[in-house]
Amino acid sequence: MNNPKIEKLVKDLLIELGEDPKREGLQKTPHRVAKMYTELTKGYKTSRKATINGALFSQNVDNMVILKNIELYSLCEHHLLPFFGKCHVGYIAKDKIVGISKIARVVERFARRLQVQERLTQEIAAELQDALKPQGVGVVIEAQHLCMMMRGVEKQNSVMVTSAVLGNFRSDLATREEFLTIINKH
């Protein structure tokens, strides 16, 4: 990422908004914003190999594994405003399991990009399906979008829910219902 170029763009934006980038409170803002966008979009610079990092383990189990309430923070690609919430991931292993922290890292990898929630949900599910080759995967994301809360319709209590179900989570109603029941228990 070209931070000096981003800093110049932010400085120009401040000027276009009617601000003085030389004002004490704004002098370091271009640098801070460039650094922030580098952090918030770090998912572009990571690969599956680096994310999962050899944490696939041969295991002959066929029970459902669920990691719920994974915090996520992302940026809406339409307005560059944050959306944030929780991601719930479940899978039924076939031959392999994955270290649980790696599930959270997969979520982080795709969340730290310019996103729409619908694609984010699908990317997480597809990545886990492809890496683990499980019997099935389920992903549900519940998120609040500042682009809807701070501007436009200004609905502060709205929560968007998206789901992606693959394999037996899609084909077997009982499997899907078990997953949804477990993630909705407090």
As annotated, the active-site residues are: 76-79, 117, 145, 147
Residue 80, both tokens: 């560059």
Helix (H) or strand (E) holding 51: helix 48-52
Within 10 Å of residue 117's Cβ, how many Cβ atoms?
20
Which residues make beta-bridge pairs with 96? 58
3-state secondary structure of 58: strand
Using H for helix, E for strand and C for coil, what is the string for 109-173? HHHCCEECHHHHHHHHHHHHHHHHCCCEEEEEEEEEEHHHHCCCCCCCCCCEEEEEEEEHHHHCH
